[in-house]
Amino acid sequence: MSQVRSKRIRYVLAAVGVLALVGAAYFGPAALRLYRVIHLYDEDRIVGNFLDMEKIFPVSTIKAGPNPSTFGRAPAELPATFTYDGTERSTAEYLDYSWSTGLLVLRGGDVVHEQYWRGHEKDNQHISWSVAKSFVSALVGIALNEGKFSSIEEPITKYLPEFVGTAYDGVRIKDILQMSSGVGFNEDYGDYDSDINRFGRVIAFGGSMAEFAASLKRARTPGTFHHYVSIDTQVLGMLVARVTGMPLTQYLEERIWRPIGMEYDAYWLLDESGMEVALGGLNVTLRDYGRFGLLYLQGGEWDGTQIVPRAWVQSSVRPDAPHLEPGEDNPGSSNSWGYGYQWWVPDPDMGDYAAAGIYNQYIYVDPKREVVIVKNSANHRYTAERQESKDLHIAMFRAIAASVAGD
């Protein structure tokens, strides 16, 4: 790139920044929030932003109880290397390369490794991004078990009639859980005009998430193709709020947070109407992400009490149709990993599964080895390396799980 062109680009970016700041002064908090959203993933800001989302968006707090559950300790070293695509890689170097901010490894109820980087500390809440989807799935399962709605085979419009006449009209709740709603959606975070980035701007300006969801078009027959649509989770969040009569924040606090003894408060980002950004706005500490993973490792049970129905946990982490199976050559899916109810299943034969969010947020569960791994990250390279980055992490997690289990 020529120096002249480079200077022009810098001038344009600077002008955009100035205009955004002027807009912030004129239009108030919404414009300032838009400016922060535009720069959310900048290399020099991404770490701090991911730890301080409450400074950008309004939030609602999930309160921890007075008696947090405790972990035992059984320290173990991480494996020095792991293998991906036939090449041996350094674990420490990849943790650094992917801009890790926190790593927690649990075996059973014991902490075997806990480490923080780049200013992240054990009492800091870190943005979950799409890891939040797995929390929403748990709430759907609990609400179903409580009889708040009748079946996931029912159409979502039975409970959310405002979606009659939209792309969600008549779509089964199950198809939405499995990201097979048939709704067209561009999830490319690197494309300024993608649906997910348009959604971000709607949130920044205080728009309605429900109206945004209703504006989307149907692209395929529901229940036939696995296509990742983040707004599907937002619709599930609306379902939970509608049938329980509670905000997601309150329902999560009462049904999961306090019953399993989460150690710290968490918070959920809100839109201007007060609705939680269900698809990715949950902010949680590393250890409490670990407790949620441990809850699933234990089949939804905690200290003898069934918190999430066991059958729901089992169904959530098992693809049950051909279009949900993993494989790069699966004609029914746009993803190489398999999918359950808002949980990823990289390879059913391995038995492991993961909650995963952009920029490399993970709750990884290996039931065979009784291992849970949580990783917070601020990997600014993520959009350029998306699937390879995910596959590298699973390879690393499998190596860690095998090492700490003594395999």
Whether 389 is in a domain gets the answer yes
- The DSSP code sequence of 287-303 is HHHHHHHHHHHTTTEET
Kindly tell me the burial class for residue 290, based on how many C-beta atoms sit within 10 Å of its own C-beta (0-12, 13-18, 19 or more). buried
- Co-location of 31 and 162 in the same domain: no
Give residue 291's pLDDT.
98
- Co-location of 31 and 141 in the same domain: no
Whether 48 is in a domain gets the answer no
- Co-location of 226 and 152 in the same domain: yes
- Co-location of 166 and 23 in the same domain: no
Whether 93 is in a domain gets the answer yes
Give residue 4's pLDDT.
46
- Co-location of 15 and 163 in the same domain: no
- Co-location of 203 and 297 in the same domain: yes
Sheet holding 353-357, edge to edge: 72-73, 110-116, 100-107, 371-377, 361-366, 353-357, 344-345, 338-339
Query: How much is the pTM?
Result: 0.91
Give residue 26's pLDDT.
44
Contact between 403 and 79 (Cβ < 8 Å):
yes
- Co-location of 99 and 159 in the same domain: yes
Whether 289 is in a domain gets the answer yes
- Co-location of 226 and 111 in the same domain: yes
Whether 46 is in a domain gets the answer no
Whether 47 is in a domain gets the answer no
- Co-location of 14 and 79 in the same domain: no
Give residue 33's pLDDT.
72
Give residue 29's pLDDT.
64
Residue 13's domain spans which residues? 3-39
Whether 284 is in a domain gets the answer yes
Give residue 16's pLDDT.
44
Positions of the chain with pLDDT lower than 50, given as ranges: 4-7, 9-27
- Co-location of 29 and 91 in the same domain: no
- Co-location of 13 and 119 in the same domain: no
Q: List the Cα angle 38/41/45 in 5-degree steps.
A: 100
Q: Which tokens hold the place of 8?
A: 């022009």
Whether 111 is in a domain gets the answer yes
Angstrom distance (rounded) from CA 365 to CA 353: 6
Q: Looking at the 3D structure of the chain, how many domains does it have?
A: 2
- Co-location of 35 and 67 in the same domain: no
pLDDT in tens, 49-87: 999 999 988 999 999 999 999 999 999 999 999 999 999
